[in-house]
């Protein structure tokens, strides 16, 4: 809304200057029209500066500002009998603002109103042939400007979405990164605790370094992607939060889940990994296994650090106990 207030205020100041020194100072009608237009613009600026943007948005004020600005320019051009390029140039203000701030439908609406208003005002003041020539020329400028800015806004939105995804998702596995996972874990433990508690499952690929050393890091990456797919298949995303914490360690957060159910979910993943080997680029099959640690809050821990420590300790007991197995933290 700040940009709209700025544009409207600037237009009001320009109108005042035109009233004293410009083309709008030639007659009483043009001066009165300019003062009225400036007053309307300043009123809009004041309302926009004090009202809440959310309220204005719900009322449809933003498209209305663009449409109203275009109509005001056209009406003033007719009342001041001004067909110059400078007078028509004011139509660029609502179109430019709409193209950089509003959705595509609103941009089309504002641009269409500006074009139609310009055609009507020119036809009222000029011979038809001359009016149409001016309208086609200036209309082309408005349309090209609106289209280019709209396309630029679409590209920018896509870049922002890509950056947001990169900030929350692990690029290799497509699982959430550690920062987002820990925010979800903190929320589950402190802000929205469940009656059944919250379970944390940590998974670690057995002998991952040997896989990288023997088959190369690309195969190691394939193994992580393969494991992430198996976890997704066996743990419903609606019931859990899945993350790659780093390296070859994956985590599953299960809010509202008992230790027994969490162990069952972990066992389903373990069995799936056992029965689904990774297909290598040459067609050979690589058997994988995982070690799994399960901890539960409040049964095994209270806070986030304690829950991590309990699940991590259970994970390492699984590794020391022979790998390819599940350990649940002791009560």
pLDDT in tens, 30-45: 667 666 766 776 776 6
Q: Is 186 found in the same domain as 146?
A: no
Residues 254 and 307 sit within 8 Å (Cβ to Cβ): no
Would you say residue 26 has pLDDT above 60? no
Q: What is the pLDDT of residue 19?
A: 64
14 falls in which pLDDT band (50, 70, 90)? low
pLDDT tens digits, 94-122: 888 788 777 888 888 888 888 888 888 88
> What pLDDT, on a 0 to 100 scale, did the predictor assign at position 69?
79
Same domain, 200 and 155: no
Q: Are residues 295 and 163 in the same domain?
A: no
The predicted structure's pLDDT at residue 137 = 84
Query: Once rounded to an integer, what is the mean pLDDT over residues 48-74?
Result: 73
Mean pLDDT score across all residues of the chain: 82
pLDDT of residue 319: 93
* Residues 195 and 321 reside in one and the same domain: yes
Residue 172 is assigned to a structural domain of this protein = no
List the structure tokens of 192. Answer: 């929205």
Kindly state whether residues 192 and 135 are assigned to the same domain.
Answer: no
Give the pLDDT score at 28.
Answer: 66
Residue-wise pLDDT tens digits, 200-237: 999 999 999 999 999 999 999 999 999 999 999 888 76
87 and 127 fall within a common domain: yes
The full DSSP string for 18-70 is HHHHSGGGSSHHHHHHHHHHHHHHHHHHHHHHHS-HHHHHHTTHHHHHHHHHH
What is the predicted pLDDT for the residue at 217? 92
Q: What is the pLDDT of residue 206?
A: 93
pLDDT (0 to 100) of residue 119: 87
Of 22-26, 184-188, 268-272, the least confident: 22-26
pLDDT of residue 195: 75
pLDDT tens-place string over residues 156-187? 666 555 555 556 788 889 888 888 888 888 88
**Is residue 218 a contact partner of residue 305, using CB atoms and an 8 Å limit?**
no
What sign has the CA pseudo-torsion 299, 304, 305, 311? Answer: positive
Do 141 and 97 form a contact (C-beta atoms < 8 A)? no
Asked if the model's pLDDT at residue 21 lies above 70, the reply is: no
Q: How far is CA 11 from CA 56, 89, 109, 296, in A?
A: 21, 11, 21, 63
Q: Which domain range does residue 28 map to? A: 2-167
pLDDT of 145: 79
The arithmetic mean of pLDDT across residues 265-281, rounded, is: 93
Same domain flag for 228 and 127:
no
Q: Which of 133, 167, 201 is the last residue of a domain?
A: 167
Q: Is cis: bond before 194, omega within 30 of 0?
A: no
Q: At residue 312, does pLDDT exceed 70?
A: yes
pTM of structure: 0.56
| pLDDT at residue number 159 | 58
* Ramachandran bin of 65, using left for φ above 0, alpha for ψ from -120 to 50, beta for the remaining angles: alpha
**What per-residue confidence (pLDDT) applies to 301?**
83
CATH code of the domain containing 189: 3.30.70.270
pLDDT at 144 exceeding the cut of 70: yes
Same-domain check for residues 152 and 185: no
User: Percent of the chain beyond pLDDT 90?
Assistant: 29
Decide which of 300 and 52 is more confident: 300
Same domain (yes/no): 124, 13: yes
pLDDT for res 246: 86
Which of 123, 143, 167 finishes a domain? 167
Assess whether pLDDT exceeds 90 at residue 296.
Answer: yes
The distance from CA 90 to its chain's CA centroid, rounded to whole angstroms, is 33
pLDDT of residue 20: 62
């Amino acid at each position: 809304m700040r940009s709209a207030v700025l544009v409207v205020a600037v237009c009001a100041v320009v109108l005042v200057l035109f009233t004293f020194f410009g083309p709008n100072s030639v007659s009483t009608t043009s001066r009165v029209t300019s003062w009225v237009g400036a007053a309307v613009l300043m009123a809009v600026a004041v309302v926009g500066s004090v009202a809440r943007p959310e309220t204005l948005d719900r009322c449809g004020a933003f498209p209305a500002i663009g449409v109203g600005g275009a109509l005001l320019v056209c009406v003033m051009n007719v009342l001041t009998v001004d067909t110059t390029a400078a007078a028509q140039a004011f139509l660029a203000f609502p179109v430019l603002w709409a193209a950089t701030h509003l959705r595509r439908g609103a941009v089309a609406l504002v641009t269409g109103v500006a074009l139609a208003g310009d055609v009507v005002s020119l036809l009222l003041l000029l011979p038809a042939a001359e009016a149409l020539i001016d309208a086609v020329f200036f209309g082309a400028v408005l349309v090209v400007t609106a289209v280019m800015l709209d396309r630029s806004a679409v590209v920018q939105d896509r870049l922002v979405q890509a950056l947001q995804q990169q900030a929350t998702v692990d690029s290799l596995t497509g699982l959430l990164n550690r920062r987002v996972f820990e925010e979800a874990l903190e929320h589950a433990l402190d802000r929205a605790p469940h009656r059944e508690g919250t379970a944390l499952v940590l998974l670690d690929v057995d002998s991952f370094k040997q896989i990288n050393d023997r088959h190369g890091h690309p195969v190691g990456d394939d193994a992580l992607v393969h494991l992430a797919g198996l976890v997704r298949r066996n743990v419903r995303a609606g019931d859990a939060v899945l993350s790659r914490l780093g390296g070859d360690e994956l985590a599953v957060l299960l809010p509202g889940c008992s230790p027994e159910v969490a162990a069952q979910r972990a066992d389903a993943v373990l069995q799936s990994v056992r029965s689904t080997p990774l297909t290598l680029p040459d067609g050979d099959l690589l058997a994988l296994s995982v070690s799994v640690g399960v901890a539960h809050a409040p049964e095994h821990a209270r806070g986030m650090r304690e829950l991590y420590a309990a699940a991590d300790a259970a994970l390492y007991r699984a590794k020391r106990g022979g790998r390819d197995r599940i350990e649940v933290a002791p009560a």
